[in-house]
Amino acid sequence: MVTAPSPPKSLSGADLLALLTSALSAKSLPVDENGVYFIFTAADVPVEGFCMDSCGFHATAPPSAATGGKKLTYAWVGNPGTQCPGMCAWPYALPQFGPQAPPLVSPNKDVGLEGMVINMATVLAGAATNPSNTGYYQGDSLAPLEAASACAGSFGKGSYPGYPGNLFTDKKTGASFNAHGVNGRLFLLPALWSPSSQTCTTLS
């Protein structure tokens, strides 16, 4: 994770890349061409395209002195808690568009961070399987499709637009989830496209 002590009022894509290269130049992060560098922004930091075009993205840092002359994969995910929970934290928030079905109960009591986990998993799956954004398309090359975006809105079996699918429910809190984390944490992770079965594969 890369942070800036005094970020500008709004961050552009170039600003995000600059945060990464600055950290690499300062040796705060090692150069790892096999890794994925994640940049997370707080709920009060606006980012160009956030809540309009995407909830996060992955890209390639071009070779430079900071990257040791290597291409590096990096990604960004924003906290949608106050800016656009309906777009980037569904199904833990009322959807921005469509039927207003009641949101699910958050297992960690933080809708913004729940959204970040979902979007981080989405972006990581894309970065691992399609790092250069040239691998998969839906129609033309201007409509890229990736492992998780091919299954948008699907988290459990039986999902359909507006319904995330059949999920596990925590008996104590009523929270919905499909994945167990460290120290008893519960999370919701997106379905991923399976090339072998030609279907969206879920955890629950």
At 30-69, the pLDDT tens digits run: 999 999 999 999 999 999 999 998 999 999 999 999 999 9
The residue among 189, 91, 103, 92 whose CA lies nearest residue 148 is 189
pTM: 0.92
CB-CB neighbours of 31 under 10 Å:
14
How many angstroms separate the CA atoms of 160 and 168, rounded? 17
H/E segment holding residue 61: strand 56-61
pLDDT single digits (tens) 137-174: 666 666 678 999 999 999 999 999 999 999 999 999 99
| Tokens linked to 127 | 């970065």
H/E segment holding residue 186: strand 186-187
pLDDT single digits (tens) 6-30: 655 789 999 999 999 999 999 999 9
The residue among 72, 61, 73 whose CA lies nearest residue 124 is 73
Say what the pLDDT of residue 188 is: 98
